[in-house]
Amino acid sequence: GQNIDQPTEMTATEGAIVQINCTYQTSGFNGLFWYQQHAGEAPTFLSYNVLDGLEEKGRFSSFLSRSKGYSYLLLKELQMKDSASYLCAVRDSNYQLIWGAGTKLIIKP
């Protein structure tokens, strides 16, 4: 079967750095996405990786290793507004997105 694993919840301190991991086992691979979802709101797109390596976008970076079936989202200089759920999704061989259950990130002052 297809599976996306992420930690259920993480806690970090304002101003710090946090890394959210995602491991996947899917039938085929055509890209990996990270989305942010604030409570009661829609998911919003953060990043996309299709080749191995690090993609940097301001305070957020995303890393991919296809051989390990592994990605992480790195958030730097954490702000209170970063408190949200972070969703990892992999596009499989049928070009459908398979979603993880999400990681709830709690930021403490």
Partner 1 sequence: IAGITQAPTSQILAAGRRMTLRCTQDMRHNAMYWYRQDLGLGLRLIHYSNTAGTTGKGEVPDGYSVSRANTDDFPLTLASAVPSQTSVYFCASSDTAGGTDTQYFGPGTRLTVL
The residues that touch partner 1, with contacts defined as CB under 8 A, are 4, 31, 33, 41-45, 48, 50, 87, 89, 91, 95-102
- Spatial distance between the Cα atoms of 59 and 38, rounded to a whole number of angstroms: 17
Q: How far is the CB of 77 from partner 1 (least distance, A)?
A: 25
DSSP state of 75: E
Assess contact for 104 and 7: CB atoms under 8 A: no
**Minimum CB separation from partner 1 for residue 3, in Å?**
10
Q: Tokens 């691979």 label which residue?
A: 29
Report in angstroms how near the CB of residue 89 gets to partner 1 at its nearest. Answer: 8
Strands 32-37 and 84-91: antiparallel
